[in-house]
A and B are shown apart, each in its own frame.
Chain A
Amino acid sequence: MSNFLLDFLSLGAILSGILVITSKNPVISVLFLISVFVNVAGYLVLLGIGFLGISYIIVYVGAIAILFLFVIMMLNIQLAELSAVGSEYTQSLPLGGIVGSLFVFELISILPFSFKGLSTFNLSSVSNTFSESSLGVINWFNTLLVSSIGSTNDVHQVFDAAHATDSNFTNYIQIESIGQSLYTYGSIWLLLTSIILLLAIVGPIALSMKTNNTDHLYTLYR
């Protein structure tokens, strides 16, 4: 059941991502960006990481997307891409195809053979020459090409049942473990991030300040 919903959420995220870049109205573009964020947040929650899923909705949808909407509605952005139809979209598709094929190359060739030395990757049975992870990837591509059912999660166990994370919505032990690493080993990073967020407050104020001469702030230092 959760595999079914995972497929729906990932398809929704990809479709919304395509519609972000190909819609003419910038407000519709922001709405599809919100849809991408909500789909990815639901995906993360189903994957077992409840804290990051909820914080996506709070931070990305609640702050960043609202900021985009404010700026777009305040600015009256000219629809400069209205004329970019037909040949102007397809003339950069080969470049996009090259970038996308790099990822596909990495997923096919490099990723299955890097699973052999990991101790937490708990396979169900011993296999010396032919790793079960590569069997899983090849089987997955086979189901992509041949059939449309495509559920191959019985081929091998990626994680053992004690770490089965797709059945928890929130987990206080997970938040506690994030906090225990974040506030001890990542404490300096936290302080640096606070300084960067202070810059993000002061910077837009300084950039959009109007003085009496209606010049920018830097002309005051002449």
Chain B
Amino acid sequence: MILEHVLVLSAYLFSIGIYGLITSRNMVRALMCLELILNAVNINFVTFSDFFDSRQLKGDIFSIFVIAIAAAEAAIGLAIVSSPQNSG
């Protein structure tokens, strides 16, 4: 019961993120919805590793890398957004 609970939460956040990413005309809002999508993916990985992989925790480790990559692309994406204002 609790596994489907978490997966439904992850599916909701993913769908909301995709909907916001498609229908946003502002690039900063699109980056925020991309963070929502990566967040939902993290919950999914971590749940499956917690329930079915108690020994090696491969899903936990992968979601650590997803957090790091999300931080990196948020930084580079916001630099791309703010670069015409700095020198244009």
Contacts and interface: CB of A to CB of B under 8 A. Distances in A.
Whether chain B is bound by chain A comes out as yes
Interface of A: 3, 6, 10, 13-14, 17-18, 20-21, 26, 29-30, 33, 36-37, 40, 43-44, 47-49, 51-52, 55-56, 59-60, 63-64, 67-68, 71-72, 74-75, 77, 80-81, 84, 89, 92, 95-96, 99-100, 103-104, 107, 111, 118, 120-121, 136-137, 139-140, 152-153, 155-156, 158-159, 163, 165, 174, 177-178, 181-182, 186, 189, 193, 196-197, 199-201, 203-204, 207-208, 210, 214-216
A7 to B, nearest CB: 8
Interface string B25-42: 110110111011001001
A13 B11 CA distance: 12
Nearest to B36: A17
A216 B84 CA distance: 10
A193 B68 contact: yes
Interface string B19-57: 110111110110111011001001100110011101111
A137 B76 contact: no
B70 A52 contact: no
B25 A84 contact: yes
A29 B29 contact: yes
B65 A153 contact: no
Interface of B: 1-9, 11-20, 22-26, 28-29, 31-33, 35-36, 39, 42-43, 46-47, 50-52, 54-58, 60-61, 63-65, 67-76, 78-83, 85-87
Contacts of A99: 15, 18-19
B60 to A, nearest CB: 6
B67 A55 contact: yes
B75 A204 contact: yes
A26 B32 CA distance: 10
